[in-house]
Chains A and B, each alone.
Chain A
Amino acid sequence: SAVISQKPSRDICQRGTSLTIQCQVDSQVTMMFWYRQQPGQSLTLIATANQGSEATYESGFVIDKFPISRPNLTFSTLTVSNMSPEDSSIYLCSVLSRGRSVYGYTFGSGTRLTVV
Chain B
Amino acid sequence: GQQVMQIPQYQHVQEGEDFTTYCNSSTTLSNIQWYKQRPGGHPVFLIQLVKSGEVKKQKRLTFQFGEAKKNSSLHITATQTTDVGTYFCAGRVGGNKLVFGAGTILRVKS
> Do residues B42 and A107 form an inter-chain contact, with CB atoms below 8 A?
yes
Main DSSP-derived SS at the A contact region: strand
Across the interface, name the chain B residue whose C-beta is closest to A92.
B42
Question: Which residues from chain B sit less than 8 Å from chain A, CB to CB?
Answer: 1, 33, 35, 41-45, 47-48, 88, 90, 96-103
Q: Which of B43, B48, B103 contacts A102 (CB 8 A)?
A: B48
Please judge, given known A-B contacts A42-B88, A42-B101, whether A107 and B96 are in contact too, CB under 8 Å: no
Contact of A43 with B43 in the complex, beta carbons under 8 Å? yes
Residues of B within 8 A of A107 (CB): 42-44
A44 to B2, CA, bound (A): 12
Docked-complex contact B42 and A41, CB < 8 angstroms: no
A–B pairs, 7, beta carbons within 8 Å: A33-B96, A48-B97, A102-B47, A103-B48, A105-B35, A105-B43, A109-B42
Label chain B's interface by main secondary structure. Answer: strand
Per the bound structure, the CA–CA distance linking A43 and B101 in Å amounts to 8
With A104-B48, A105-B45 given, is the CB distance from A31 to B101 under 8 Å? no
- If A104-B45, A106-B45 touch, whether A41 touches B102 (CB-CB below 8 Å) is yes
Chain A residues with CB below 8 A from B96, complex form? 31, 33, 48, 96
